[in-house]
Structure 1
Amino acid sequence: MGVADAGGGQVKSAVRTVELLEYFAARPGMHSLGDVQQAVGYPKSSLYMLLRTLTELGWVETDGTGTRYGIGVRALLVGTSYIDGDEVVAAARPTLDRLADDTTETIHLARLDGVNIVYLATRQSQHYLRPFTRVGRRLPAHATALGKALLATYPDEAVRKLLPESLAPLTEHTVTDREQLIEELHGVRERGYALDREESTLGLRCLGVAIPYRTPARDAISCSVPVARLTPGHEQGIREALLDARDRLTLATRHL
């Protein structure tokens, strides 16, 4: 028996486990067995056994009836451990703190994960009117300043391979044509920062810069501001503070 044959069953089980956890992670709340089965396509009997095992281990939770399922607390513990042990997150803390003080706005550190960005750290705005964010949230890279700053560090052909021709809109302002996005990325490279003009959230604008401690870049920082508060002078100050923070964070991560 070959290696693939010997380990085939175990690998299939592992893949199904990860896919199931990612399903719950992307869909907050509780879901019926039928809904989960329809989404993932596993045989209902094997899906039920897998859910029961994950529930016993704390990776999945059930409601009071025991018939609806959602992500469990173990997933939070693993996610927290990832962030706590990440060298970039640790190196970025002083820079994020200073950037939040300098701009008085919400600051993010995020990482490119396939076609999405994942938020690794946030500093909340000092203002009452502020965007809602949370660590671990995922958004399409093409609709965010963070994602566009990171995509701009890739050659055009690499972006074409990564993204489909038609991009899903999050708001009426989202760029949905890949070639139009690539054209915008040319401007990002020239000026050194990316813009999100209410493309991920209505009423919110963002500026983002990639951290070039590796090429292509993996991580970026951004500043999010409600449109009502973004005057030309405030935007210029944020832009200057972001570029300064990028330079300081590049030095802080040069050994990684």
Structure 2
Amino acid sequence: MCNTPTGHSRQIDPRRELAGAAPAAVQVLDVLRFLAGQRGPVAAAVIARDLQLPRSSVYQHLRALQHLGYVVHLREERRYALGIAAFELSSGYLRQEPLARIGAHLLASLVDRLGENAHLAVLHGRDVLYLVEERAPHRPALVTDVGVRLPSHLTASGRAMLAMLPEAQLRALFPDDASLAERGERGPHTVSELRSVLDEVRRLGYGFEDGEVTEGIASVAVAVAERSGWPEAAVTVSFPSDAIPPARRPALATRIREFSDELARRLGAGPQSAPD
């Protein structure tokens, strides 16, 4: 929160203002966002409960969305799922690629300032998918090329994003030790070890790894959150392990956060906050 010179503070909540002007529209979008965040179809009662909306309103919104093709009603299961119109929206987003387009410009600026490789990644199931990579002069090529997927629990970007997920979503992704992909002797091998790593990421406010993806290469990452608080992407800088010692990596994370904040703003979300 930013304090005014008089000592008073006031933080505008855009969602609250929108809800006051167009409450039904905000509720409909909340329903769609909720369905998009589930691993499978859900009952209307669950939507009403988790969004704290009247059931009558939820059923009304679902009927409208179903009529327009954004929601499908699975009668036998008494559950609702996203429809083909919602898929068409997501396909349009992918065609326009705003995340990759905006991210590419910001990463180029970040690399110019730091002189180290940087990349932008998103969560894709248990993996991270690399969307953009910017290489610094005289730095080694990395395995994190565009389109490459790596186990999220091993990468700095993956850890930064996993640390932002709700507990239920984290359990769904990693229900047992067998869900952690093996990659030699590196990285956490049990769910308990992964939770310890993510606890440290939350404490520090950034993801990190050193030699767990590529020997001799370390990475520091800061997640970019959606308005809902879920991770949308992560901005990562990778460098030879001996180029930036551990004591200097918190300062590096602070510089990366400036760019992740700017990316969040341009995508329509607010800046990320460092932990206390």
Q: Determine if the TM-score, normalized by the shorter chain, exceeds 0.5.
A: yes
Q: Distance in 1 between matches of 2:195 and 2:105?
A: 33
Which structure carries more relative contact order (alpha carbon 8 Å, separation 6+)?
1
Shift of 1:94: 2.6
CA contact (8 A) 2:161 2:234 kept: yes
- Provide the residue aligned with 2:130 in structure 1: 119
Counterpart of 1:189 (choices 186, 195, 202) is: 202
CA contact (8 A) 2:103 2:132 kept: no
Q: Any idea what SS the aligned residue of 2:214 has?
A: coil
Counterpart of 1:180 (choices 169, 193, 199) is: 193
- Provide the residue aligned with 2:267 in structure 1: 253
For each residue in 1:216-255, what CA deviation from the matched residue of structure 2 results, as whole angstroms up to 9, or x when unmatched?
Answer: 1121110111113223565344222111111111111116
Say which is worse superposed, 165-174 or 218-227, in terms of deviation.
165-174
2:242 alignment partner AA: A
Cα separation, partners in 2 of 1:155 and 1:136, compared to 1, 3 Å: same
Q: Could you say which structure has the higher helix fraction?
A: 1
TM-score, with length taken from structure 1: 0.62
Shift of 1:96: 0.9
Q: Distance in 2 between matches of 1:83 and 1:123?
A: 20
Counterpart of 1:239 (choices 246, 250, 253) is: 253
Cα separation, partners in 2 of 1:102 and 1:211, compared to 1, 3 Å: same
Q: How does 1:19-58 map to 2 (within 5 A)?
A: none
- Provide the residue aligned with 1:133 in structure 2: 144
- Provide the residue aligned with 1:150 in structure 2: 161
Q: Any idea what SS the aligned residue of 1:218 has?
A: strand
In structure 2, the gaps of 5 or more residues are 1-91, 271-276
Which runs of structure 1 show a deviation greater than 4 angstroms over 4 or more consecutive aligned residues?
A: 81-84
For each residue in 1:137-163, what CA deviation from the matched residue of structure 2 results, as whole angstroms up to 9, or x when unmatched?
Answer: 000101101111111111233212111
Q: Distance in 1 between matches of 2:119 and 2:93?
A: 17
Shift of 1:130: 4.3
Instruction: Work out the percentage of aligned pairs sharing the same amino acid.
Output: 29
For each residue in 1:15-67, what CA deviation from the matched residue of structure 2 results, as whole angstroms up to 9, or x when unmatched?
Answer: xxxxxxxxxxxxxxxxxxxxxxxxxxxxxxxxxxxxxxxxxxxxxxxxxxxxx
Q: Distance in 2 between matches of 1:128 and 1:201?
A: 14
- Provide the residue aligned with 1:5 in structure 2: none
TM-score, with length taken from structure 2: 0.58
CA contact (8 A) 1:103 1:237 kept: no
What RMSD in Å do the two structures reach over aligned CA positions? 2.4
**Across the two proteins, how many residue pairs are aligned to each other?**
176
Q: Distance in 2 between matches of 1:83 and 1:155?
A: 25
Q: Any idea what SS the aligned residue of 2:242 has?
A: helix
